[in-house]
Amino acid sequence: SYRMIAENLEMSLTPVVQALKILEFQGFVKHTPNKGYSTEPLSLQEIKEIYELREVVELSLLPGVIENLDAESIAKLKDFLKRNDSAKINLNDRLVMDRDFHITLASISGQKIQIQTLQNLFDLLYLKYRGSRLFDSSEIVVGSQHQMIFDAVVTRDADKATEAMKDHFKTIKAQALSSLSQILASK
């Protein structure tokens, strides 16, 4: 209950209730009257929808990314690719870099609402589902796919960028759904 949370955190009720309402709105928790708040159950359908929406949003941003691409943007993206190639990166760091690559790529488009939507989808994926649940190995295959996306964007080839992005989403969605299916089957 929110009262127990407030007591444990030694806070007043108002900020705790406000925070829980925000988390409820974002889909992290659900409220049951007279019982309190609980986390939402894990859902294969939700993961599928998140990746499908990410794909729609990110593909819609590609023309703006290509149009607005400049030397500074290219340098930032190259930096993400270089850091992602490091063999000593743990899974959580790799997932953060994946998110940062996609957010940086999207931000080049200048479309603030879509970028915020994308950020919210990443928050839902990595906070509710914890990336380490969705990807069970530090060998997730994204580096080469990010390189293909980057190469197509830098050469301003919208068709190749679209295909590379679609292939990337097909791969990561399949990995996430497979991992979550195994988790749900073991419960």
Contact 106, 118 (CB under 8 A): yes
Q: Nearest 5°: CA angle at 51, between 149 and 136?
A: 85
> Per-residue pLDDT tens for 117-145?
999 898 888 777 766 566 655 445 577 88
> Per-residue pLDDT tens for 66-124?
999 999 999 999 988 887 665 556 666 777 788 889 999 999 999 999 999 999 898 88
Q: How far apart are the first and last CA of the chain?
A: 25
Question: Look-up: residue for tokens 């986390």?
Answer: 39
Q: pTM for the whole thing?
A: 0.79
> Per-residue pLDDT tens for 134-181?
665 544 557 788 999 999 999 999 999 999 999 999 988 888 888 888
Q: How deeply is 95 buried, as exposed, middle or buried, from its count of CB atoms within 10 A (0-12, 13-18, 19+)?
A: buried
